[in-house]
Structure 1
Amino acid sequence: MQAQSQLKKKLRLFDNFMVPFTQSRSFPYLWLSQLISMVGSSITTVILPMVVYSLTGSTTMMGIVMGIYMLPYVLMLPFSGWVVDRYDRVRIMMLSNVIRFIVMLLIAIFIFTDWLSVHILFVLVGVNGLMEGLFQPAFSAVRATVFTPEIRNAANALTQMSIQAVRLIGPVLGGLIVSSFSPGFGFGLDALTYLLSFLCLIQLVKYLARELPKKKTDTEATFSWKSDLMDGITILKGHPWLWITILAFSFINICYSGVIVVLIPWLFKVHLQLDPFIYGIGIACSGGGAIAAALLFGSRTNWKRRGVLAYGGALLSGLALLLMPFTTSSIGLASLMALEGFGLMIFGLIWETSLQELVPAEAFGRVASLDLLGSFALLPVSYVLIGWIADKIGGISTMAIFAAVGIAAVACVLCIPSIRRFQ
């Protein structure tokens, strides 16, 4: 009897995750498009820091590279939300994928010909960041359209779970490529995935042509981006959960992202002198923790006390980052990376679902761009600052300080009643 009960639970869980495929003709193409592009991105996530540290050996330079990536991203966001709500969102994603294909192909060519320098990398990484700033609000807005209420929890969980599953394979593959071959193969593979993603989006256009409203293209509309941006701010002000969280994570992301992007690669490669393959395994473990969180979240259609649950996940991630610099065991590092991925995924799924519930579809691009702007506006400064501080006082001390400050910020937000009461 117990075995039958467990089998029924597994079947119900499977049915929950199949709902987006059976009830939406658009979902499979949107899901596959993002999944394919994430294969390449997860590989270059491992390879790019290894290339930068091989060229320079400097945490400051790694911070500058990531700052140059984030600065065009951030500068694009106030305008990309307006563009996304005015023009065809899927075609904006297609344009972004074509340009990112060219960027990754050029990096691969420069590596194979030994022409790659830090200055060339600055330019190409900056273009890539600019396209990310255009792509992400469009992708968020299309998700809000495709992920209707009856499939929303399962679609969000399945999307994130499959992306993290790719990240289990991609980082390990990236580590193997760096260890055994040229990093150029990794960037070339990333370019190919953007091309395949583009082909999936061509199919998606056919199914969304009638679902997405026509965008205004008249001359008068081209001068209304400021008022449209204010409309997005007005929507955010009407929901304390939204504007408080965006403001809070504009600071929390400085602490967490700087440590994850700049100093964790340094911890593995420079401080502990571990093989890039081990770093890839660590990133894969973070993806494994995120998959576990997505499975847990997608198993139910409704969750109570979502505010406490979301910030509890952020707190768990901060604790993992705080313990990481004092851990020398590969197994211990992998376990902490899994906890970090689990906590941030719990927060991310609740946040994405709440945006889709609270924000009108016609304004989603503007609100998504404001969300990304608030979350990432200070990241270019954060990457450079954390890299510079690490060179001055040491990476271990810098990791501990910023992780502790991030934990304190999360704890402060949990003291706000409207956050704790969010359902």
Structure 2
Amino acid sequence: MQNDSYISTPPKATASSALAKLLSPIRQSRAFTYLWLGQWIAMLGSSVTMIILPIVIYNLTGSSTMMGLAMTIYMLPNVLILPVSGWIVDRTDRLRLIWLTNATRFLIMLTAAVLMFIDQLSLPVLYVGLALYGLMDGIFVPAYSALRAEIFTPDIRNAANALSQMSIQAVRLLGPAIGGLIVTFTSPGSGFALDSLTYLISLACFIGLGRFYVSSRKQTKQQTLTQDKTTKSSMMSDLLEGFRILKLHPWLWITIVIFSLLNICFQGIIAILVPWLFKIHYGFSPVVYGLAMAGTGVGAVLAALLFGSRSRWRHRGWLGYGGAILSGVALLLLSIVSWAPGLVLVMVLEGFGMMMFALIWETSLQELVPIESFGRVASLDLLGSYALLPFGYLLVGWLADYRGGIWTIALFSIIGMLLLVAGLCTKGIRNFD
């Protein structure tokens, strides 16, 4: 007798259903669509610049230490503004802050492009631009995170996070390749000009977002005003609110502490030593370096597709930290593999692992943190991630020049993985579901 209690789902129907789930935020929310477009368009130009910038600095100096100094100059204003930027985000119009920061970054990149075209961009001027750019990022990122937490409602949250990250990583996949081609066949000034154009288009998208987000913004502002009248909270009390929320959730505060150290290891390798590995150590062309960095985008897109295919994931502590450990294994392999296609595949693995962690982390923040306090918590998260990076960039650059880049890559990747294993030894991380 045939058993009709089980009917298999055709593979095409399953794939169609997964795609429909992934694209559901576009159909359900106009605000999401404008926010999504605004961010990934801006990311296109930034991903081109992040390929061009190290090449420009290494061409000018040939020094890992100077590259580390450049990243430190970018990070310092970012870190210094973060303790108060979350309070600013929660007490002012988040969307207008995004307009301001995008307009400023447009002007910075336009100025850099003009100076490059007339051959007047010196290292001190470049450092000033990086400092101002870092300051704008320190305001933009908490504002964007808080805006995203409000627009990514629970009914679309997993798919919205996955689609957002997948599109950003797809742009990062394309951007490095474009950056490599621009440096090889035109000039770095063309890349800076492209970045300025994308910020201008992104600004137009965020202005369009205001038509769909304004009522929600007014409601949030009214709730904040009511709370002020009833509690008469001081600015210091407001700033400490983020710490109180983090204290309630071991998953949040333990992860922030661990990643404050981990980012020295992993981000130091990616920002300082990966460009050195391709350009100086192996002497590959900028196109090969661009393809390798695009590989991180491929891996991240694959992770986002996997994450967005389900509305709920279990054992997220293991899954998130396991992804970060996978990224550490990939970085360690950079010190072993010398074949160009193999290095590209290693970067695919790195992008996949870190994106799995990033998606789980962002979703958990949106679930656990109240929307009216999200800016403050997001700024503390960023402060934890970035506070030690200026020191870390200098340390990685100096150690690479002193002991060797390959040795430094191996050392910091191993230290990073040990930090992640230590995190998994705590119940707050291991039992997060």
Normalised by the length of structure 1, the TM-score is 0.97
The alpha carbon displacement at 1:214 in A equals: 2.1
Question: 2:372, 2:221 → 1: CA distance?
Answer: 11
CA offset digits 1:11-65 (Å, max 9, x no partner): 1011101210122120000000001101101101100000000010000000000
Pick from 241, 255, 258 the counterpart of residue 245 of structure 1. 255
Amino acid at match of 1:421: N
Question: 1:286, 1:18 → 2: CA distance?
Answer: 23
Question: 1:309, 1:348 → 2: CA distance?
Answer: 11
CA offset digits 1:190-231 (Å, max 9, x no partner): 00111111100111111111112227799x999943211111
Q: Say if 1:175 and 1:276, in contact at 8 Å, map to a contact too.
A: yes
Q: Say if 1:86 and 1:217, in contact at 8 Å, map to a contact too.
A: no
Q: Say if 1:107 and 1:187, in contact at 8 Å, map to a contact too.
A: yes
Question: 1:422, 1:276 → 2: CA distance?
Answer: 42
Partner of 1:313: 323
Any residues of structure 2 matched to 1:286-305 within 5 Å, and which?
Answer: 286-305=296-315
Partner of 2:134: 129
Partner of 1:61: 66
Question: 1:49, 1:96 → 2: CA distance?
Answer: 23
Amino acid at match of 2:303: A
Amino acid at match of 2:158: N
Q: Say if 1:99 and 1:131, in contact at 8 Å, map to a contact too.
A: yes
Pick from 316, 320, 327 the counterpart of residue 337 of structure 2. 327
CA offset digits 1:130-165 (Å, max 9, x no partner): 000000000000000000000000000000000011
Partner of 1:117: 122
Partner of 1:92: 97
Query: Does 2:406 correspond to 1:396?
Result: yes
- 5+ residue gaps, structure 1: none
Alignment root-mean-square deviation, CA: 1.7
Any residues of structure 2 matched to 1:200-211 within 5 Å, and which?
Answer: 200-211=205-216
Pick from 76, 83, 86 the counterpart of residue 78 of structure 1. 83
Partner of 1:173: 178
CA offset digits 1:157-186 (Å, max 9, x no partner): 000000011111110000000011110000
Any residues of structure 2 matched to 1:120-199 within 5 Å, and which?
Answer: 120-199=125-204
Q: Say if 2:23 and 2:163, in contact at 8 Å, map to a contact too.
A: no
Partner of 2:353: 343
The alpha carbon displacement at 1:376 in A equals: 0.8
Any residues of structure 2 matched to 1:377-416 within 5 Å, and which?
Answer: 377-416=387-426
CA offset digits 1:50-108 (Å, max 9, x no partner): 00000100000000000000010011101110000001101101100000001111111
Amino acid at match of 2:143: A
Secondary structure at the aligned position of 2:216 is classed as coil
Q: Say if 1:70 and 1:126, in contact at 8 Å, map to a contact too.
A: yes
Partner of 2:363: 353
Secondary structure at the aligned position of 1:149 is classed as coil
Q: Say if 1:87 and 1:217, in contact at 8 Å, map to a contact too.
A: no
Q: Out of 207-216 and 348-357, give the one that drifted further.
A: 207-216
Partner of 2:3: none
Question: 1:6, 1:305 → 2: CA distance?
Answer: 27
Pick from 233, 258, 283 the counterpart of residue 243 of structure 2. 233
Query: Does 2:385 correspond to 1:367?
Result: no
Amino acid at match of 1:281: L
Question: 2:233, 2:331 → 1: CA distance?
Answer: 45
Question: 1:354, 1:136 → 2: CA distance?
Answer: 17
Normalised by the length of structure 2, the TM-score is 0.95
Q: Out of 349-358 and 201-210, give the one that drifted further.
A: 201-210
Question: 2:209, 2:60 → 1: CA distance?
Answer: 40
Pick from 19, 24, 31 the counterpart of residue 19 of structure 1. 24
Query: Does 2:34 correspond to 1:29?
Result: yes
Question: 1:409, 1:4 → 2: CA distance?
Answer: 43
Secondary structure at the aligned position of 1:26 is classed as helix
Amino acid at match of 2:332: L
Question: 2:235, 2:310 → 1: CA distance?
Answer: 39
Question: 1:325, 1:120 → 2: CA distance?
Answer: 34
**Identity over the aligned pairs, expressed in percent?**
55
Amino acid at match of 1:15: A
The alpha carbon displacement at 1:4 in A equals: 7.2
- Residues 177 and 217 of structure 1: CA distance in aligned 2, closer, same or farther (over 3 Å): farther
Question: 2:264, 2:23 → 1: CA distance?
Answer: 37
Secondary structure at the aligned position of 1:211 is classed as helix
Aligned pair count?
A: 421
Q: Say if 2:323 and 2:357, in contact at 8 Å, map to a contact too.
A: yes
- 5+ residue gaps, structure 2: 1-6
Question: 2:235, 2:73 → 1: CA distance?
Answer: 25
Q: Say if 2:315 and 2:432, in contact at 8 Å, map to a contact too.
A: yes
Q: Say if 1:294 and 1:349, in contact at 8 Å, map to a contact too.
A: yes
Secondary structure at the aligned position of 1:325 is classed as coil
Secondary structure at the aligned position of 1:411 is classed as helix
Query: Does 2:267 correspond to 1:260?
Result: no
Question: 1:266, 1:174 → 2: CA distance?
Answer: 16
Query: Does 2:45 correspond to 1:40?
Result: yes
Secondary structure at the aligned position of 2:143 is classed as helix
